[in-house]
Copies of this chain bind each other. A is one copy, B any other.
Amino acid sequence: MPTIKDVAKRAGVAVSTASYALSGSSKIKGATREKVLLAAKELNYRKNGLAMDLKKSKTKTIALILSDLSGPFYSELIRGVQELALEKEYDLIVCGSHGDESSTAAKFLRETRTDGVILLAHNIKSEFIRESAREGFPIIVLDRHLSGDPNIISINVNNRKGGYHATDYLIQSGKKSVGLISGPSNSADSQDRVAGYKEALEAHGITPLSKWIINGKFTQEGGYQATKMLIHQGDMPEAVFYANDEMAIGGLEALKEHNIRVPEDISIIGFDDIQLTPYLAPPLTTMRQPKYEIGKLAAHIIFQVLEGDQVNEHYTFDTELIKRESVRIGK
């Protein structure tokens, strides 16, 4: 590969001249400028972006780290981040955290490769995130609440309140019993939703029954399995709150297999409001997370930190009940 040196030589100028000309500086005028550009073209020259970033000690890039690149959850979030990045003329790259501490994610967290990162990857340990924190490298975490390090900022959704709201809505709609399919117990998000669920039950004088609280993985398969268990147990609640939409989809499947109709026989509610939620049969009632807004804020904060502004250590969003057709009103 030809370097800028080669270009300079061929154009018969100094490297600095070539550099200026190539980056469109007004320092270099007509004739010389053309010469350089021509030489670059003739040599099929490509700038080495790595060298540039190294030299400038600045990448103008932020990374969004997702636990599952192929998940259905993120598109709105990405859009939020992307929009702001574009506006600031920053680049956004997204990478996955598959493989834990040996993953691409780990590399981008630990090493200097971008100017900041936004993290939504439950499989990365908090410990690891803390270790990766350093001055001038903002880390925004979206799926937990991490405090104590000024370079780590958390943006969360009020999961407890959301869980409460979802459960309360089910009860207000006339359901006497509501089950819960929760996420994995190592997920802070899930734990908070469970807490909200229990609170709502108790607020209505209902005692949470452990037989109606089943936990599984935050996936379609997890929801399917958990629902199967619930069904085989024999005694079904009148409604069930799924700790996320993906699980609810799996639940819908299991329910369908057993000819249990939604919402005629059982009402269900999800959490997240992922993209495909309105297309389900029936369209799923769910607690919407303002993902676009979260993404936008996350990016916004990164830029603030990068520009030396003061920011809070923690931000919270509320969820919003999106009523669709999976909850039947009245017993």
A113 within 8 A of B: yes
- Say yes or no: A112 contacts B46, CB within 8 Å: yes
A176 within 8 A of B: no
* Stretch of A12-20, A96-104, A189-197, A306-314 at the chain-chain interface: A96-104
Q: Which residues of B contact A71 (CB under 8 A)?
A: 75
- Interface size of A by CB at 8 A reads 49
Q: How far is the CA of A275 from the CA of B75 in the complex (A)?
A: 13
Q: How far is the CA of A99 from the CA of B86 in the complex (A)?
A: 8
Q: Which residues of B contact A25 (CB under 8 A)?
A: none
**Nearest-CB distance from A57 to chain B (Å)?**
9
A280-304: which residues lie under 8 A (CB-CB) from chain B? 280-281
Q: How far is the CA of A95 from the CA of B69 in the complex (A)?
A: 12
**Nearest-CB distance from A55 to chain B (Å)?**
9
A229 within 8 A of B: no
A70 within 8 A of B: yes
- Say yes or no: B47 contacts A54, CB within 8 Å: no
- Say yes or no: A112 contacts B70, CB within 8 Å: no
**Nearest-CB distance from A78 to chain B (Å)?**
5
Quick one: closest B residue to A91, CB to CB?
A: B104
Q: How far is the CA of A92 from the CA of B51 in the complex (A)?
A: 20
| 10 nearest CB pairs, A to B | A70-B75, A49-B111, A91-B104, A276-B276, A48-B112, A93-B93, A49-B113, A70-B79, A50-B54, A70-B78
A contact set with B: CB distance below 8 Å: 1, 44, 46-54, 59, 61, 63, 69-72, 74-76, 78-79, 82, 86, 91-96, 98-99, 104, 107, 110-113, 132, 134-136, 249, 275-276, 279-281
List 26 A–B pairs whose Cβ atoms lie within 8 Å, in order of A's numbering: A1-B136, A44-B134, A46-B110, A47-B112, A48-B54, A48-B111, A48-B112, A50-B53, A50-B54, A51-B54, A52-B111, A54-B54, A69-B78, A69-B92, A69-B94, A70-B74, A70-B78, A72-B275, A72-B276, A91-B107, A92-B96, A92-B104, A93-B93, A93-B95, A249-B279, A279-B279
